[in-house]
Amino acid sequence: MRRTTIILMLWMLALAGMAQTVISGHVMSRLTESPMGDAEVHVGGTNISVITNEDGFFSLKLQETPRMIYISALGHKTSVVDCSTMPDLQNVNVWLAADGVMLNTVFAYSPENIIEKALEKIPQNFTPKEECLTGFYRETVKKKNHFTNINEAVISIFKTGYKHDIDRDKVQVIKGRSLMSQKTSDTLSIKIMGGPHEAVLLDMVKNRDILFYEKDIPAYRFKMEEGTIIDGRPQFVISFYAIGFREYPLYSGTIYIDMERIAFTRIEAALDVSDVPKAVEFMLVKKPRGLRFRPKGLTTTVSFHYDGEYSRLHYVRNIYLFNCDWKRRLFATSYKVVSEIVVTDYKESPVPKSSKGMFGHNDTLSSDIADFNDVTFWKDYNILEPSESLENAVRKLKKRQ
């Protein structure tokens, strides 16, 4: 009888462990009356958060129903949702109002001084601890107007504190899945810069060689723009563009810096691809002989989340635009590759000393995806939900197989 009771208790505990609360819905902007892509949905009292897709949709998978969730987006007031008052947690629709806070447009410092101060304060504004970030990675390849490849993975991002550089930071793929077009003509055997290792390489605050390399800063001109609000906090908005010459391509874009903390919040950067040979050398890792690769654009967005004590990496997106053609063909084919990483949780954890089993910057997820495939794995992990167009693309790809 006692043994039966113990087994029953273990079974009930197992069921309790498997129980899951799903909170989903849409985030809309009252200012534009349109869906809010890239809005952050954060679970109060935890490290758990997700990003809305381009349709403004989000989905959170939790072990228990939280009390509050917080929704924030660039230039909008943060909205707080009391889950206990929601009749349907899988249909949470939130409208974000534009933030009408008047920002002081008279500054005592030049934009160059503000950026210099933000760089100096990285060790105190960004986490000094070794941590493991749980991230979701998605990569889509679009040929002309249809998707040809979709790769997804749950990754562990091991990061040292921000007083160190990225030399010891590592990425490990936990599980992955892929859907590829079976048409031979859709196959593109090239490798461009990117992959899950972007979580290390594109942390522009920690990897200062990308944008804030000391010798490159004089090659940029900075301009103060009208301030804005992110997550309820006033931000300096500084635009920049290249005025100098380097042997590698430079960027133009916008930097958002927390006014109170003088901490980087968000960076949007577009690579100058006007010098084609330099852009090709920067973007392209490998291609077949005879294939011509012509870059048309590369834009990068990196954002950081502030937890009330420190900031850390939260979201990375790269959009590659390029044409490919064979030397004897008359017309080129346009491609768009979008890769995204969203950090959904984090915890203190030592960075592994060994690189064995880690995902390197030269590794390709699509070629190794079979090693990580597990269809039953994904139900417990928070991910960046696919947009409606991506879901349609998946259905079309399945029909073509």
Buried-exposed string 174-213: b where 16+ CB fall within 10 A, e elsewhere: ebbbbbbbeeeebebeebbbbbbbbbbbbbbbbbbebbbe
Mean pLDDT of 132-141: 94
Position with higher pLDDT, 234 vs 109: 234
pLDDT at position 389: 82
* pLDDT of residue 20 exceeding 90: no
The residues with which 286 forms a beta bridge, in sequence order, are 191
Question: What is the pLDDT averaged over residues 234-263?
Answer: 95
pLDDT over threshold 70, residue 139: yes
Task: Give yes or no for a contact between 303 and 266, defined as CB atoms under 8 angstroms apart.
Answer: yes
For residue 187, pLDDT beyond 70: no
Q: Which residues contact 152 (CB under 8 A, 6 or more apart)?
A: 136, 137, 138, 139, 176, 177, 178, 383
Rounded mean pLDDT, 211-235 = 92
Split at pLDDT 50, 70, 90, the class of 17 is: very low
Quick one: which H or E segment has residue 272?
A: none
Confidence of residue 316 (pLDDT cuts 50, 70, 90): very high
Give Cβ neighbours of residue 18 (< 8 Å, ≥ 6 apart): none
Distance CA 117, CA 222 (A): 14
Res. 184: pLDDT tops 50: yes
196-213 pLDDT tens trace:
999 999 999 999 999 999
The two structure tokens encoding residue 71: 């929704």
Q: Which of 29-38, 193-202, 283-292, 334-343 is least confident?
A: 283-292
Q: Tell me, what amino acid is at 356?
A: K
Query: Vertex 79, ends 382 and 224: CA angle to 5°?
Result: 95
Is 398 strand, coil or helix?
helix
pLDDT above 90 (res 328): no
What's the mean per-residue pLDDT of the chain? 87
Question: Which residues are CB-contacts of 52 (< 8 A; sequence separation ≥ 6)?
Answer: 26, 27, 35, 36, 37, 38, 39, 40, 41, 58, 385
Q: How much is the pLDDT for 291?
A: 78
133, 126 Cβ separation under 8 angstroms: no
**CA-to-CA distance for 26 and 21, rounded, in angstroms?**
17
pLDDT for 162 = 97
Distance CA(220)–CA(149), nearest Å, equals 37
What's residue 1's pLDDT?
43
Q: d(Cα 36, Cα 51) in Å, to the nearest integer? A: 10
- Return the pLDDT at 211: 92
239 pLDDT higher than 60: yes
Count Cβ atoms within 10 A of the Cβ of residue 368 and give its class: 0-12 exposed, 13-18 middle, 19 or more buried. Answer: middle
Is pLDDT of 186 > 60? Answer: no
| Confidence at residue 14, expressed as pLDDT on a 0 to 100 scale | 42
Predicted pLDDT of residue 104: 55
Predicted structure pTM score: 0.89
Q: Where residue 379 falls among pLDDT bands split at 50, 70, 90?
A: confident
Closest C-alpha among 400, 399, 382, 340 to residue 151? 340
pLDDT-above-70 percentage for the chain: 87
List the Cα angle 90/378/57 in 5-degree steps. 35
- Work out the average pLDDT over 189-199: 79
At residue 101, the pLDDT reads: 61
Task: Give 378's pLDDT tier (boundaries 50, 70, 90).
Answer: confident
